[in-house]
Structure 1
């Protein structure tokens, strides 16, 4: 193989890499923006009871800290009995959104806890498309990875669980 043929192959590989990166960025933008319909049409709100409960828990976490969160007895949940929140709630969603809120505030980006909670699902849907791409790329190749990421970005069953304002586990 001549040196000019090797350079053509290198240019083709670099172009393919840049093109697949650009497509993946567009898929992430699609996955994020398609979930913003309710925010654009109405306003930025938390939907339903369970997401609002998770928002209240996240608000308490950001206000009081992790230690108080683990030991928090909420008398407004399961009224009149109450509930120990730290021991009975799935902490992943709450701790992730709380950490995102703390990072934004550390970077002097003043967002409310509600705003972070509303946009957590669309942000992670873009991350899920990226993770799907990486997994499928390892199994079947770059084209299959991009196809799988695009399908995940637009599949209705996943959209219904990750629409903006649907702050639930």
Structure 2
């Protein structure tokens, strides 16, 4: 049975007060469009400063991996940056890489003793991951993770109605 510690919301992830919000970043960690740009704009220069330090230390972030920064002016305490896969017809291990984004972000949150995490719909914008497939991967990966981390709370924050509906549908099927 799925965890009761999942909430699906339609809204703006930059307004959510949690221990960490997850950013669908690009590998340079220097900000971009979509949710990445919105998080950098709302959080202010502290996030970019922390991202620059990470890049200097390790050279960016690979697809499916995650790194953590302070949250600047956001109501969250931290930002976990993960790089989602660009959709290439499913021929380049995209589903497994997307699942890694969710799993590695949650593992990073747990290793930093964070108990509440909000996710956007990773890779469903300019990376063109099919929204229905992405919703299923997100829900399954989070439900599986929470089975062994019952104290953690996860909010899946959907910016648009289609992602919200699909995510709710997958979650209700898993109950």
Q: Specify if TM > 0.5.
A: no
Greater share of residues in strand = 2
TM-score by length of 1: 0.32
TM-score by length of 2: 0.31
Structure possessing the higher radius of gyration over alpha carbons:
1
